[in-house]
Structure 1
Amino acid sequence: MTWDSDTYAATIRAEIHDYDELQAQVVRATAGMSPATILDLGVGGGETASRVLQMHPRSRLIGIDSSADMLRGAGLILPRDRVTLVNQDLADPLPDERCDLVISALAIHHLDGSRKATLFRSVAERLTSRGRFVMGDVIVPERDSDALIEIEAGYDFPSSVEEQVTWMTDAGLTAEVVWLRQDLAVFKAEPLGR
């Protein structure tokens, strides 16, 4: 599937119930930090990055996305002096740089379970000792009646809260769900022993 940066904002709000609340909850989960470097996994059109950078005005952000068109759109709204955009897939190795904060909104559900587990290990390796990982995404809800978002076979691979918390824990992170609404969740994870 390809995304058009010009129509993405309207499309995503039509497809994802509570989109703006999910974004607000992702930003809220970054409160109480002063991150120097932020990594955005699946920066898309820059919506999440823009909101997080507003909360953290001294931070620098690296945004990765597999869509050159979405990166173009992100480049139009994000402050060039504080942002580096990289065209790469989430399944590719992450940038080597250590980060104080890793964020992701509505991107990681495009990876299957084993790739999510691998990505969470990579995130844990890149976080500083006082770092944090915040992810807002589509999940498999406990009740079928809470599955509101249309899932495209072969493109969307949502996992349950329990699976993702387990993979984060196995990666060396303490993880908790800080917001849950039907088939959307926001996770906050930090290095074990912090």
Structure 2
Amino acid sequence: MLSTAEFAYNSMVNRSTGKSPFSIVYTKLPNLALDVVVLPKCKSGIAAKFTSHSTKMLEDVHTHLTNANLKYKAAVDVHRRQQLFNVGDLVMVRLRRERFPPGTYSKLSRRKIGPVPIISKINDNAYTVELPADQNTSLTFNVSDISLYHPPDPAIIEFSSSESSSSEAGED
């Protein structure tokens, strides 16, 4: 069964590449058991059994992959924060290490840039922002790297020390 499962995996289209591993390596798709089905009036019992077994196995693999993807999505969605922004909102953008040009990253360099306006929404998970001209990086950011900008509070902050908090003379 392992060789059959391996063949099925290598002949299925990968969602990332859009091609099957067979078509990438050998530049063509292999002949599948499903190709035998299109033969008119195939009277071989062995071929029919092989075809039905392969078809069922491919359906099972597809079902298992779909269920696994749903479980992965549910596990990730537990920790996901749903935050939607509108075009024109002021946000703070976090720059990850990969966003810095080679040799310019420092632990002490500025990580958050902002406030910057959102100039377009790609989808609920990606936004395009207007970065300053000196930033040589892509303008598109994942929602995990964007936070809403809150302007500083204009109230005057008064500092007091414990020495001057006493209202009566001679008290500590």
TM-score per shorter chain, which class? Answer: under 0.3
| TM-score, reference length from structure 1 | 0.16
The structure that is strand-richer by fraction is: 1
